[in-house]
Amino acid sequence: MGLSMQEKKALTREISKRYQKAGKKEKTEILNELVKTTGYNRKYVLHILANWGKTVVANIDGKTTRLTATSSKRRKGGGRKPKYSGDFVIALRRIWAFFSYRCGKILAPFIREQMHFLEQPFRITEKDKELLLSVSPSTIDRLLKQDKKKLALKGKSGTRPGKLLKKQIPVRTYYADADKKPGFFEIDTVHHCGTSDSGEFGL
């Protein structure tokens, strides 16, 4: 079983002290050893060992700040805020339903061409309007992925096996030459019922 992330960081921290004081030959040996032990990329390990614990003075927003190279935990809630969320996604879902649940490649051009008709009925704000006019087809599909799963058909066949006659119906294991002649064919029934087999529909 390999080392955990915490164990790898602790090992790197300890070895970096020895690496920075070692000679050229010993540094190569230490580097090879750490790459083999941790599985890290060689260039990444080289950078970490060479810079761990070193302090750099930087000017940030007019203030002199001392930055120390070390490993730290990622802050929760960091990163860039999502561009497409909230009211935008709600408006996109409504427009998607209005255009009969089209895919992103079809829906994106529809939105761009019909935006002047969609603004008022769907109460689209100026901010969401800009996003709708610029959103890519792939992003539309990604944002609606979970909604599409809810609409997916649970079963593609309305046929049910007959338990009583199952053993009485012969199973064909070969095809005679006569079956291959023109005029011989077999058919199966298909439900033309859309997403629901309730009510009346064609077979």
Question: Among 56, 144, 36, which Cα is nearest to 99's?
Answer: 144
Grouped pLDDT means (10 residues each) for the chain, 203 residues: 73 79 84 83 81 65 61 54 84 90 90 89 89 91 89 65 61 62 66 72 68
pTM, entire model:
0.43
Q: 159 in a domain, yes or no?
A: no
For the chain, the C-alpha Rg in angstroms (whole number) is: 32
Same domain, 26 and 62: yes
What is the reported pLDDT for 164?
Answer: 59
Q: In angstroms, rounded to a whole number, what is the distance separating the alpha carbons of residues 124 and 132? A: 9
Boundaries of domain holding 116: 87-148
Q: Which residue has the tokens 């050893």?
A: 33
From 13, 34, 68, the end of a domain falls on: 68
Q: Which helix (H) or strand (E) element contains residue 30?
A: helix 24-38
Whether the Cβ atoms of residue 34 and residue 50 lie closer than 8 Å to each other: no
Average pLDDT for the chain? 76
What is the reported pLDDT for 93?
Answer: 92
What is the reported pLDDT for 166?
Answer: 58
Same domain, 94 and 61: no
User: What total of structural domains would you count in the chain?
Assistant: 2
What is the reported pLDDT for 16?
Answer: 79
Q: 190 in a domain, yes or no?
A: no
